[in-house]
C-alpha cells in the first residue's frame, strides 16, 4: 500500500514534464534546430497529458483517458521524430499521424466497444513499449554514428523504460495489479519510477547529446577552416614555385627576345657614330636610324613589361581584359621557344572583341600553362601543330587549344588536371591544376580531353563581359 496520493504524483510529474522541456529549450536557445523543437514540443505534450491523468477524478473519461493517451503517444512520437532528424532521416509525418490515429482508435475500441480494462491498459502500455524501444534504438544509432556518449545514456534510459512498461503489462495481465495507472500498489511505484527516469535523465541526456554534437560540428568547422587555410597557403606556395619554374624554363626565350631589339639598337647607334665620325652623315639617314632605335626601344620596353607581369605576385584587382590581345602577348613570350621547337601555331580567332573580367596576370598564366603543356606534349621529329580557336559561345568566351600529340593516356584520364599528377618525368603536375583553379576563381572552367582526330584539347570557358558596363568600370 502506497503512502502517497497517485493523482497528485501525476500532477507533479506533469508539471515536471512541462518545466524540463522549457528548461532544455532555454538552455539551447542559441542553437535552434528542428530536432530541438520536436523534442521539447513532445515533452510539453507529454506533460499536459500527465496533468490530465492526475485530474482524472475531476474530468470526463474521454478527456483523462482518450485525450490524455493520445497526447502522450503524440509527445513520444514527436521525440522519436526529433531523433530521426538528428540522424538526418526523413520526418515521415504522415506515417506518424496515421500511427497515432490507429493507437487512439484501438484504445477507444477496447474502452468503449469491448469495455475491457485489461485489453485497454495492455494496448496502451504495449504501444509505449514499442515507442520507447524505437527511441532507444535511434539514440543508440546516433551514439554509434556520431560517437556521442550522451546518446548511449539516452538509449539506456529508454530501454529501461520500455522494459518497465512490459513489466507493468505482465503485472496487469497476471492480475497482480489493477489495469489503471492511478491505482495504488506496486504499479504506482513503477509509474513514478518510469516518469522520473525519462523526464529527468532523458531530458538531460538529450541536452548532453545535443551539446556534444554541436561541439563536434564546431570542431569540424574549425578543422575544415584550418584545412582550407592550409590548403590555400600550400596552393599559393605551389603556384609561386610553378611560376618560378616557368620563368626558369623561359629564361632562354626571354634572353633571345631581348637580344634582338638590343642588338638592333646597338647596330643603329654604331652606324650613327661611324657616320658622324666620318663626316659623311646626312640628316635623313640619322633620323631613320634614330627611328629604328626608338622602335627597338619600345619593343624592349614591352617585352620587359611582359616579363615583369610574370615575375610579380598575382594581382587581385580585376579589370576588363581583351583576351585576343592577351593571346598574342603570351605567344610573343614563347616566340623563341616556338621557333626553336619548330612548332606551327594556327589561330582561328573570332572577329568580334572577346572581353573578359579578371586579373590579366592570372589569365595570362592560364594561357601560358596551356600553351606550354601543348608544346611539351608533342613528340620530337613529329609534325608539331597547335590549333588555337577563340570564340563567343552563349555568354562565354571560349578558348580551345588542340595539339597533335598522343593525347591523354587512359591511366591519366581520371586524374588529369589534378595537382602532382603528371605524365612528364620532370613535371610537378601543377600547371594545369593551377590554371583550373584560376579559371574557377574567375567564374569559368577548364577541361582537358582527347580530340576526335587525335591529340589533346584544352577548353577554357570564361564569362564574357562588356567593357562599357558599370560593373566593369
Write down the pLDDT at residue 389. 92
Quickly state the pLDDT bin for 2 (edges 50, 70, 90): very low
> Which residue's C-alpha cell is 601555331?
345
Domain range annotation of the chain: 6-228, 320-326+339-472
Strand ranges of the sheet holding 445-450, from the earlier edge strand across to the other edge: 344-349, 385-393, 396-403, 456-463, 445-450
Instruction: Give the confidence band of 12 by pLDDT, cuts at 50, 70, 90.
Output: confident
- DSSP state at residue 67: I
SS3 93: helix
Q: Residues 321, 356: contact at Cβ < 8 Å?
A: yes
Q: What is the pLDDT of residues 346-395, one digit of tens each?
A: 888 888 888 999 888 778 888 888 888 888 877 776 678 899 999 988 88
pLDDT at site 123: 93
pLDDT value of residue 70: 93
Closest CA to 64 of 180, 175, 194: 180
What cell was used for 452? 576526335
pLDDT of residue 104: 93
Q: Specify the CATH architecture of the domain 320-326+339-472.
A: 2-Layer Sandwich (3.30)
Task: Kindly tell me the burial class for residue 42, based on how many C-beta atoms sit within 10 Å of its own C-beta (0-12, 13-18, 19 or more).
Answer: buried
pLDDT at residue 254 greater than cutoff 80: no
**pLDDT classification of 250: cutoffs 50, 70, 90:** low
Is this model's pTM higher than 0.85 or not? no
- Please report how the helices 202-278 and 34-54 are oriented relative to each other, as an axis angle in degrees rounded to 10: 170
- pLDDT (tens digit, 9 = 90+) per residue, 21-80? 788 777 777 777 788 888 888 888 988 988 888 888 889 989 989 999 999 999 999 989
Of 87-101, 242-256, 283-297, which range is least confident? 242-256
Sorted by sequence, the CB contacts under 8 Å of residue 39 that are 6+ apart come out as 21, 24, 78, 79, 82, 83, 206
pLDDT at residue 126 in the model: 92
**Closest by Cα among 410, 347, 346 to 383:** 346
CB–CB of 445/400 below 8 Å? no
Return the CATH number of the domain spanning residue range 6-228.
1.20.1070
- Give the three cell numbers for residue 286: 640619322
Provide the grid cell at 329.
Answer: 602577348
pLDDT tens figures, 404-442: 888 776 655 544 444 434 444 433 345 677 788 788 888
Average pLDDT over residues 95-100: 91
Lowest mean pLDDT among 36-45, 287-296, 405-414, 446-455: 405-414
Q: Grid coordinates in use for 261?
A: 631589339
Q: Classify each residue of 322-333 as buried b or exposed e, where b means 16 or more C-beta atoms within 10 Å of its C-beta.
A: ebbebbebbbbb
Instruction: Classify the C-alpha dihedral 77-82-84-85 as positive or negative.
Output: positive
CA atoms of 43 and 39, how far apart (whole Å): 6
Q: How far apart are CA 96 and CA 93, in angstroms?
A: 5
pLDDT, residue 472, reads 45
| φ/ψ (deg, to 5) at 449 | -155, 180
First to last CA, the chain: 89
Q: Residue 152 — pLDDT band, cuts 50, 70, 90?
A: confident
- Name every residue whose Cβ is closer than 8 Å to that of residue 94 and which is 6 or more positions away in sequence: none
Domains 6-228 and 320-326+339-472 share a fold: no
Show the cell assigned to 102: 490507429
Round to whole Å and give the CA distance between 91 and 82: 8
- 234 vs 362: CA distance, rounded Å: 17
Burial class (CB in 10 A: 0-12, 13-18, 19+), 468: exposed
Asked if pLDDT for residue 471 goes beyond 50, the answer is: no
pLDDT at 134: 93
Phi, psi of 380 (to 5 degrees): -60, 155
Amino acid at each position: 500500500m502506497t503512502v502517497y496520493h497517485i493523482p497528485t504524483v501525476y500532477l507533479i510529474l506533469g508539471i515536471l514534464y512541462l518545466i524540463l522541456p522549457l528548461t532544455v529549450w532555454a538552455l539551447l536557445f542559441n542553437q535552434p534546430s528542428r530536432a530541438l523543437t520536436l523534442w521539447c514540443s513532445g515533452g510539453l505534450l507529454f506533460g499536459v497529458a500527465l496533468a490530465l491523468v492526475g485530474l482524472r477524478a475531476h474530468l470526463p473519461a474521454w478527456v483523462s483517458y482518450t485525450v490524455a493517451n493520445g497526447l502522450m503517444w503524440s509527445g513520444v512520437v514527436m521525440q522519436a521524430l526529433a531523433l530521426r532528424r538528428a540522424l538526418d532521416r526523413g520526418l515521415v509525418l504522415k506515417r506518424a499521424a496515421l500511427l497515432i490515429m490507429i493507437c487512439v482508435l484501438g484504445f477507444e475500441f477496447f474502452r468503449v466497444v469491448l469495455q475491457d480494462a485489461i485489453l485497454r491498459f495492455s494496448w496502451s502500455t504495449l504501444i509505449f513499449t514499442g515507442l520507447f524501444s524505437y527511441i532507444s534504438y535511434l539514440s543508440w544509432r546516433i551514439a554509434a554514428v556520431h560517437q556521442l556518449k550522451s546518446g548511449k545514456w539516452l538509449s539506456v534510459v529508454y530501454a529501461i523504460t520500455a522494459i518497465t512498461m512490459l513489466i507493468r503489462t505482465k503485472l496487469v495481465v497476471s492480475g497482480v495489479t489493477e489495469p489503471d495507472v492511478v491505482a495504488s500498489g506496486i504499479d504506482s511505484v513503477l509509474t513514478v519510477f518510469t516518469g522520473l527516469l525519462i523526464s529527468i535523465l532523458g531530458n538531460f541526456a538529450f541536452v548532453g547529446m545535443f551539446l556534444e554534437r554541436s561541439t563536434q560540428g564546431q570542431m569540424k568547422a574549425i578543422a575544415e577552416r584550418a584545412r582550407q587555410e592550409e590548403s590555400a597557403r600550400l596552393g599559393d606556395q605551389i603556384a609561386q614555385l610553378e611560376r618560378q619554374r616557368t620563368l626558369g624554363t623561359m629564361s632562354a626565350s626571354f634572353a633571345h627576345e631581348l637580344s634582338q631589339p638590343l642588338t638592333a639598337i646597338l647596330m643603329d647607334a654604331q652606324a650613327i657614330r661611324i657616320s658622324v665620325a666620318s663626316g659623311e652623315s646626312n640628316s635623313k639617314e640619322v633620323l631613320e636610324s634614330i627611328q629604328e632605335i626608338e622602335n627597338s626601344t619600345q619593343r624592349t620596353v614591352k617585352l620587359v613589361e611582359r616579363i615583369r607581369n610574370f615575375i610579380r605576385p598575382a594581382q587581385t584587382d580585376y579589370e576588363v581584359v581583351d583576351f585576343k590581345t592577351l593571346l598574342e602577348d603570351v605567344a610573343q613570350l614563347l616566340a623563341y621557344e616556338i621557333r626553336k621547337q619548330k612548332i606551327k601555331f594556327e589561330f582561328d580567332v573570332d572577329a568580334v572583341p572577346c572581353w573578359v573580367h579578371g586579373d590579366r596576370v592570372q589569365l595570362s598564366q592560364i594561357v601560358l600553362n596551356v600553351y606550354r603543356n601543348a608544346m611539351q606534349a608533342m613528340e620530337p621529329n613529329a609534325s608539331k601543330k597547335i590549333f588555337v580557336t577563340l570564340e563567343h559561345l552563349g555568354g562565354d568566351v571560349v578558348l580551345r587549344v588542340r595539339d597533335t600529340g598522343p593525347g591523354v593516356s587512359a591511366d591519366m584520364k581520371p586524374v588529369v588536371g589534378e595537382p602532382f599528377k603528371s605524365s612528364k618525368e620532370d613535371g610537378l603536375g601543377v600547371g594545369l591544376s593551377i590554371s583550373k583553379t584560376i579559371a574557377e576563381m574567375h567564374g569559368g572552367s577548364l577541361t582537358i580531353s582527347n580530340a576526335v582526330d587525335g591529340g589533346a584539347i584544352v577548353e577554357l570557358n570564361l564569362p564574357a563581359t562588356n567593357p562599357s558596363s558599370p560593373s566593369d568600370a
